[in-house]
Structure 1
């Protein structure tokens, strides 16, 4: 027995589920997977049946530089100036009698307070964090999933071949049960060995 939700159909959007489908190709970067979906979209493929699934998520922190007193002061002044511009223009819109000198004063006051706040914050946290960084969550691989009924069409559009990966990286296509078996290898290295030479006659 299920309990009806007061949100109705909107409840399904609050709890996302994993998409169902078959892997058409796997890529090392999200950009490659995005380009594959663009190829399908340009070919009038029903892209609403396509999903990009990232696997093995990792948190990556990229260090962008070292913090210094001057850098902290400049960043604080810039953020404070933007806040001053916002409040100054807001007051100018609702009070037309206010002159532009008030906006300039708001910018200067905001820059001063922003610089002071940045310097104080840096002085407190200097020993714990003395650098700037950017946090990112990336996946080790990105798989393009398609509904099972459209897998063959997607493979034909992407030119996918099983067990073949380009030399520059890119995607590697998994073996599918409907794919024909691979042809036996050919080449000079696979030739049968030559028969042994007959023994020399006795002297």
Structure 2
């Protein structure tokens, strides 16, 4: 991404004209819009599902810190040598090389001191980048038609739902707002008939285990009837 980006101010970004997967495709879409004379101030790239990715590049140590400090120190030494040559063109080459070594030493010392301070919190090197799931190219309403023509995108049609009929009684399974009377919502002449009772078991049908058992009084009468002697048994 460009380093010239300004921080967002929370202003409206307009309506989406196209959606792409990567940032390069979004840049191409913006270039196409600008070529079609769409005002650059009306265009915005909005990243959706933005996340940061930190890639670990290696483990930090005193050796790695000294090596990176030496590389940076070479640049410091060259800068000091250039200042010396500009101030004294007749300076010997040994002095030039000496300033380079001084810069290397300074870079190593600074890098080692910095690593000694932060090594307890962070002992690895990494590179952080910003990524998004997809990018929306948006345009303000004043330039929306021109932007769609430039990208060959048709206008989105909005689906309008028909209004609900409030005079129709609620159907089975519909939720009724709490605190309301379902009978009051049912108009006159549309009374719901009562639900018929379930028929009892017929003769010869097997009743399940969950069927109600006979009352205790009936069971006592049956036991008394069995206890009475029969006339056939009392005859000699």
- Aligned CA distance change for structure 1 residues 133 and 176 (closer, same or farther; 3 Å): farther
Moved more, 144-153 or 78-87: 144-153
Does 2:53 correspond to 1:63?
no
Provide the C-alpha distance between the structure 2 equivalents of 1:149 and 1:77, rounded to a whole number of angstroms: 56
How far did residue 17 of structure 1 move? 4.1
Residues 38 and 143 of structure 2 are in contact (CA less than 8 Å); yes or no, is this contact kept in structure 1?
no
Provide the C-alpha distance between the structure 2 equivalents of 1:50 and 1:15, rounded to a whole number of angstroms: 13
- For residues 140-169 of structure 1, the C-alpha deviation after alignment (integer angstroms, 9 at most, x for no partner) is 43221212132233223223357xxxxxxx
Provide the C-alpha distance between the structure 1 equivalents of 2:138 and 2:32, rounded to a whole number of angstroms: 14
TM-score, normalisation: structure 2: 0.54
Runs of 5+ unmatched residues, structure 1: 1-12, 163-174, 179-203
How far did residue 25 of structure 1 move? 1.6
- Higher RCO (C-alpha 8 Å, min separation 6): 1
1:98 alignment partner, SS class: coil
TM-score, normalisation: structure 1: 0.61
Instruction: Name 1:39's counterpart in structure 2.
Output: 32
Instruction: Name 2:199's counterpart in structure 1.
Output: none
Does 2:145 correspond to 1:157?
no
Provide the C-alpha distance between the structure 2 equivalents of 1:31 and 1:52, rounded to a whole number of angstroms: 11
How far did residue 69 of structure 1 move? 4.2
Runs of 5+ unmatched residues, structure 2: 1-5, 160-236
Provide the C-alpha distance between the structure 2 equivalents of 1:96 and 1:61, rounded to a whole number of angstroms: 47
Instruction: Name 1:72's counterpart in structure 2.
Output: 65
4+ runs of 1 displaced by more than 4 Å?
Answer: none
How far did residue 127 of structure 1 move? 4.4
Q: How does 1:142-181 map to 2 (within 5 A)?
A: 142-160=135-153, 175-177=156-158
Q: Which has the higher strand share?
A: 1
1:51 alignment partner, SS class: strand
1:63 alignment partner, SS class: strand
How far did residue 77 of structure 1 move? 0.2
The alignment of Structure 1 onto Structure 2 pairs a total of residues equal to 154
Instruction: Name 1:141's counterpart in structure 2.
Output: 134
2:104 equivalent among 108, 111, 116: 111
Instruction: Name 1:82's counterpart in structure 2.
Output: 75
Does 2:26 correspond to 1:30?
no
Residues 52 and 128 of structure 2 are in contact (CA less than 8 Å); yes or no, is this contact kept in structure 1?
yes
In angstroms, what is the RMSD of aligned CA positions?
3.0
Provide the C-alpha distance between the structure 2 equivalents of 1:153 and 1:18, rounded to a whole number of angstroms: 21
